[in-house]
Each structure stands twice: as C-alpha cells, then as structure tokens.
C-alpha cells in the first residue's frame, strides 16, 4: 500500500463534499425563492393577528422571523 499525500487526502475530502454541497446550494436558492413568496403572506397573517405559534406550525417560520418581517414591511411603508 502506498501512503497518500496530504494533497491527495484533501482532494478526496473535497470530492466527498462536492455532491452534497451542490445539493445544499440548490436547496438554499430554492428556499430564498420560496421565502420571497412567503414573506408577504406571513406579514399579512401577523397583521391579521394570526398567532405566531400558528404561523410557525403552518410555515416553520419562527416567531422572531415573522415579527422581524412585519417590522421591516412596516418600515418600508
């Protein structure tokens, strides 16, 4: 058996990361698109006094995030 060099070991580590890393990047991009659509709906639900807990149950958006989205929307006018 030949011993691998540090460069070869790093290359193997990178190769192992690449497929799942690419999948994660794609999923994060999809999440950003989804949040752009979801944000105004969450803001409106907060304005209509839907409980933060219920918003979280329906969307997995945390109460802090929902509140921050509402404050930002109010500040923007």
- pLDDT tens per residue, range 38-65: 999 999 999 999 999 999 999 999 999 9
d(Cα 39, Cα 45) in Å, to the nearest integer? 10
Six token digits for residue 19? 């497929």
d(Cα 50, Cα 8) in Å, to the nearest integer? 55
pLDDT band at 2 (very low <50, low <70, confident <90, very high): confident
Indicate whether 1 pLDDT > 80. no
Identify the CA nearest to 39 among candidates 68, 10, 4, 6.
Answer: 68
Six token digits for residue 71? 């404050």
- pLDDT tens per residue, range 6-37: 999 999 999 999 999 999 999 999 999 999 99
pLDDT band at 77 (very low <50, low <70, confident <90, very high): confident
User: Do the beta carbons of residue 66 and residue 40 sit within 8 Å?
Assistant: no
């Amino acid at each position: 058996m030949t011993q691998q060099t540090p460069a070869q070991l790093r290359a193997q580590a990178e190769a192992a990361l690449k497929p799942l890393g690419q999948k994660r990047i794609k999923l994060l991009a999809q999440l950003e698109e989804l949040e752009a659509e979801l944000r105004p709906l969450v803001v409106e639900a907060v304005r209509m006094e839907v409980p933060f807990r219920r918003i979280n149950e329906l969307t997995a958006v945390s109460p802090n995030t929902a509140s921050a989205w509402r404050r930002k929307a109010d500040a923007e006018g």
